């Protein structure tokens, strides 16, 4: 018979387990919020469904009629497939479950790597939780959650490669092959490579005795073969052209809320401000603990998070990983030393690591499977009832729709209906300009309606456009608190 303390050791979570369980449950509980932040998810689900049904990602635009048949870059098709499979298995509960696992796994591996190399269990625990809090503003079931996980793995591998730890170089292009078909932020992997290459050259110029020539060759080989792997996608080099063109499009960047600099007067950006401040402090007072490559990493991703709030989740992954180097030896100071010794004593009693994680995930799946209406697209956010009405009352001709509703409408009505605009189609800004002209009733907005022969619209009822269309004789065929459908007479 097992002694009581031995049984306790079976179920007592380590700090690594605790990070996973806390983040997993935190993300799981926030599922309803996740699903209703923006309209991207339904579009990704539709892409996954299309690929699974046809066996190939589209290379021409098939969802938005203004761009119909024009070349289309499917750079996130694999994420759509994975999300759609989770949707087929468990509905929207499955999507939230997958997102929660991705988030929790990302920071668990960052923590595990940090303590494996430097110890300092308690301080690294706090640092990783802070990094997770920074990323939480982007806890949305979209492809970037895969990027967070892949970035964490990439950082671990790059750190080992830079320290001369034997590593199979083919693992980098193999990961990039998947990353490049899952999310456009695979570019972050190359930014990490650039930081390590810059660090190597810095050592070559100023600290040559510590330089390992073989490391430099390996870095160049990884860069070359990873770049070639990134070209294995439905659009080849066009994927790079599209991504770089998009992020350098000042008009589009100025129109997207999450690409704006973070507003530190808002509470959700407080963790980012704290992490940035702590990063500067630790890099200064413990600068001897960091390599040039790590300094370049922190500087690069730190500046990216200041230029665009969209990059905060990347900094939330990079910073805890790098800063763990600066925590080494801090627990020699009280009271950290006492806390650390207590934690180590408790963890020494743990007999089965990951068992608490398995139990938590299993129970969560059982509970969430019964919560049919917990995770849903809210009728106050999406035109849920209006789209249900449209399924039984299909409208003829081309529609004009609210931007954030494009993906939802497509997921339920395509291919019978194509939308005017949705979140993934316009990477050049032309259609967004026309959309903005219409919803602001700017000069010649009716000319755009005539150009595309728009015969009906589905938009929020409080928009000025709705009142204007009613004023010029368009007929209201459906109306609720969220959406109004008007038809041209």
Q: Which residue has the higher pLDDT, 10 or 400?
A: 400
Give yes or no for residue 116 having a pLDDT over 60: yes
Give yes or no for residue 4 having a pLDDT over 50: no
8-17, 145-154, 184-193, 455-464: range with lowest mean pLDDT: 8-17
Say how far apart CA 284 and CA 114 lie, in whole Å. Answer: 20
Say how far apart CA 206 and CA 210 lie, in whole Å. Answer: 10
pLDDT tens digits, residue range 174-221? 999 999 999 999 999 999 999 999 999 898 888 766 677 888 899 999
Select from 445, 439, 443, 428 the least CA-distant residue to 467.
439
3-class SS of residue 389: helix
| Structural contact between residues 294 and 319, judged by C-beta atoms closer than 8 angstroms | no
Give yes or no for residue 376 having a pLDDT over 80: yes
Give yes or no for residue 1 having a pLDDT over 80: no
Which residues of 314-453 form beta strands (DSSP E)? 398-401
Averaged pLDDT for residues 54-64: 94
CB atoms near residue 245 (< 10 Å): 13
pLDDT tens digits, residue range 127-157? 999 999 999 999 999 999 999 999 999 999 9
- The DSSP code for 167 is -
Cα 268–271–274 angle (5° rounding)? 140
Percent of the chain with pLDDT over 70: 92
> What DSSP element (H or E) covers 454?
strand 454-459
The bridge status of strand 484-487 relative to strand 475-479 is antiparallel
Q: What is the pLDDT of residue 14?
A: 82
Angle subtended by helix axes 312-327 and 144-162, to nearest 10: 30
pLDDT tens digits, residue range 256-303? 888 889 999 999 999 999 999 999 999 999 988 999 999 999 999 999
Averaged pLDDT for residues 63-88: 94
The bridge status of strand 454-459 relative to strand 484-487 is antiparallel
């Amino acid at each position: 018979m097992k002694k009581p303390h031995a049984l306790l050791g079976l179920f007592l979570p380590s700090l690594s387990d605790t990070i996973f369980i806390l983040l997993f449950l935190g993300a799981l509980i926030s599922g309803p919020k996740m699903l209703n932040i923006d309209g991207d998810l339904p579009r990704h689900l539709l892409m996954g469904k299309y690929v699974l049904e046809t066996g190939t990602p589209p290379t021409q635009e098939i969802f938005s009629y203004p761009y119909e048949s024009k070349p289309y870059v499917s750079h996130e098709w694999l994420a759509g497939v994975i999300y759609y499979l989770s949707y087929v298995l468990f509905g929207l509960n499955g999507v939230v479950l997958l997102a929660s696992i991705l988030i929790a796994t990302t920071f668990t591996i960052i923590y595990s790597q940090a303590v494996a190399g430097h110890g300092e269990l308690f301080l690294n625990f706090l640092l990783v939780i802070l990094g997770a809090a920074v990323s939480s503003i982007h806890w949305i079931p979209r492809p970037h959650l895969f990027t967070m996980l892949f970035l964490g793995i990439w950082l671990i591998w790059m750190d080992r490669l830079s320290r001369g730890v034997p590593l199979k170089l083919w693992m980098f292009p193999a990961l990039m092959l998947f990353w490049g078909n899952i999310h456009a932020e695979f570019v972050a992997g190359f930014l990490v490579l650039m930081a390590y290459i810059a660090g190597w050259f810095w050592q070559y110029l100023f600290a040559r005795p510590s330089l390992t020539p073989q490391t430099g060759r390996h870095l160049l080989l990884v860069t070359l073969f990873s770049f070639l792997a990134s070209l294995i996608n439905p659009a080849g080099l066009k994927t790079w052209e599209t991504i770089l063109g998009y992020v350098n499009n000042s008009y589009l960047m100025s129109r997207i809320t999450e690409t704006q600099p973070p507003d530190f007067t808002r509470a959700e950006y407080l963790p980012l401000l704290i992490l940035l401040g702590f990063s500067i402090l630790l890099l200064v007072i413990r600068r001897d603990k960091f390599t040039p490559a790590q300094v370049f990493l922190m500087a690069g991703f730190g500046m990216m998070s200041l230029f665009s709030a969209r990059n905060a989740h990347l900094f939330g992954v990079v910073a805890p990983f790098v800063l763990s180097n600066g925590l080494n030896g801090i627990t020699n100071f009280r009271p950290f030393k006492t806390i650390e010794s207590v934690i180590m004593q408790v963890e020494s009693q743990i007999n089965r690591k990951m068992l608490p994680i398995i139990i938590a995930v299993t129970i969560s799946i059982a509970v969430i499977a019964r919560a049919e209406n917990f995770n849903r697209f809210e009728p106050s956010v999406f035109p849920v009832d209006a789209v249900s009405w449209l399924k039984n009352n299909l409208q003829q001709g081309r529609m004009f729709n609210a931007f954030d509703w494009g993906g939802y409408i497509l997921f339920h009505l395509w291919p019978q209906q194509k939308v005017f605009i949705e979140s993934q189609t316009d990477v050049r800004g032309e259609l967004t300009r026309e959309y903005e002209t219409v919803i602001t009733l700017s000069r010649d907005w009716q000319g755009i309606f005539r150009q595309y022969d728009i015969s009906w619209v589905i938009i929020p009822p409080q928009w000025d456009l709705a009142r204007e269309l009613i004023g010029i004789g368009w007929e209201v065929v459906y109306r609720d608190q969220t959406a109004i459908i008007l038809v041209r007479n």
